Structure 1
Amino acid sequence: MHYSYLKSNTLKQNMHRQNIAARLLHLSLLVLTLVCFTFSISVYSQQQAPLDAQTQKKILVVGDSLSAAYKLSAQQGWVHLLREKLKDNNYPYQVINASVSGATTAAGIQIMKQSLASHNPDIVMLELGGNDGLQGKPVSYITKNLDRLITMATSSGAQVVLIGIQIPPNLGRRYTQPFFQQYQTLADKYKLPLVPFLLDKVAGYPTLMQEDGIHPRAEGQPIVLENVWPVLAKVLSKS
């Protein structure tokens, strides 16, 4: 009698364990199915993502206040006008403006480093050096920093478009001439497309320049873009 009871109890325990194991197996299969389903939906969503987001190339602008729409709304600046022109002409490019008012070539090195890591651009438009010049820093120092900025960008695989700057003549020709010439020298060294002077046909015209005589008004920004566009358009046609 006692033996029969133990045997019966053991059978019940075994059946209970088997039942629990079956439920656990069922639950595991259910979880696995849900995981696979979720993964499939995720993959499908990625495959159905808009092609523009996957194929759009990037233009990074690294500059100072001349490219940061100083004392203007961002929408009035030449970089935003460039963005609109690319869109209107069906160029699949996203424009990222990393320009900072007051930036020097030394500050640009850190900006360039962070921007390259964050955006991995196809084209880098480099517009720096003006603030260094206004501070009277040695041209050799400015050139060295610009050289490093160019190398950083090209080493990442980006095409660099170099933008030349001129500074007011009151600093003296012995300084302003080599300052301006450094851009052509660097463009020749690295075989870069060069915008000779960003503010061509704008600087020196009171109706197009702000009171400081350094920054363009909103009316001058489309002309600035006209200075940039022919050089950039040749790069876009090759990419």
Structure 2
Amino acid sequence: MLKSKTTQTLLNSAISKPRNLLNFCYILIAFALISCGNETKSKVSVEENEVSSTVNEAPEATAKKTILFFGDSITAGYGLDDTNDAFPAVIQSKIDSLGLAYEVVNSGLSGETTAGGKSRIQWILNQDIDIFVLELGANDGLRGVALTETRANLQAIIDAVKLKSPTTKIILAGMQLPPNMGQDYTTEFKEIFTDLAAENKLAFIPFILKDVGGIKTLNQNDGIHPTVEGHKIVAENVWEVLSPVINEESK
């Protein structure tokens, strides 16, 4: 291990003189301690770099906020060949193009009523949600559900979100019914959403199907569910209200 001339000279001297041998041992011990110290410092430096790297990477992995769309077949993209054509996915593309740190979650369920939404809301709230878009009620109206029940269910969903996460921003999507449901019923149905938005101080989309509902070329054969082009317009209707909320969240 020690092959240098200096070391050999020390060794020869130590062999001939006991006192020099003792001094030589001290030198060896000091050399060993210095070597170990350098190795320890190197290991600590490597470990500190690894920890620093991990800490720096952590925020990037958890940086995105969540926008959750809680709705029925309109949100789910019923009838489309690709659910990426549904308006929540269109909004995600817009968000990505703007470089905004938000992830869209599509929690739409075809055929969902406000009662169904009320029953599954607690499960949905098991995740962190920054912006909650509530799009339910159309199926209630088409089935002639009592207006008092629809109102109560929507309020229960709103209350559940507020209780679980008071900081979550809620956007309520308004819905309207075709006139064949009766003038009184359709008028009162429309007012449910307006009233709830005002009473709960929610961001409000007056009619999510604006410029789409009732237009044959923008709806599928059933006359209810938007086509791909229809969903693009729905996305714009939603974005008009969602964008200011995102800007407020980002401050």
Q: Which runs of 4+ in 1 moved over 4 A?
A: 39-46
How far the C-alpha of 1:46 sits from its partner, in A, is 4.9
User: Is residue 226 of structure 1 aligned with residue 236 of structure 2?
Assistant: yes
User: Is residue 105 of structure 1 aligned with residue 102 of structure 2?
Assistant: no
SS of residue matched to 2:212: coil
SS of residue matched to 1:66: helix
User: Is residue 55 of structure 1 aligned with residue 57 of structure 2?
Assistant: no
Amino acid at match of 1:203: G
C-alpha offsets along residues 57-116 of structure 1, whole Å, 9 cap, x if unaligned? Answer: 111110000111111111111010011111111111111111100011111123321111
Residue pair 1:98, 1:111 contacting (<8 A) in 2 also? no
RMSD: 1.8
Q: 1:94 aligns with which of 103, 107, 110?
A: 103
What pairs with 1:141-160 in structure 2 (closer than 5 Å)? 141-155=149-163, 156-157=165-166, 158-160=168-170
Alignment partner, residue 137 of structure 2: 129
Residue pair 1:203, 1:209 contacting (<8 A) in 2 also? yes
SS of residue matched to 2:224: coil
Residues 1:171 and 1:40: Cα distance change in structure 2 (over 3 Å): farther
Unaligned runs of 5+ in 2: 1-46
Alignment partner, residue 216 of structure 1: 226
Alignment partner, residue 28 of structure 1: none
Residues 1:42 and 1:175: Cα distance change in structure 2 (over 3 Å): farther
Aligned length: 200
Alignment partner, residue 180 of structure 1: 190
Residue pair 1:153, 1:159 contacting (<8 A) in 2 also? no
TM-score by length of 2: 0.75
User: Is residue 235 of structure 1 aligned with residue 245 of structure 2?
Assistant: yes
What CA distance in whole angstroms lies between the structure 1 residues aligned with 2:208 and 2:136?
11
User: Is residue 200 of structure 1 aligned with residue 210 of structure 2?
Assistant: yes
* Structure with the greater alpha carbon radius of gyration: 2
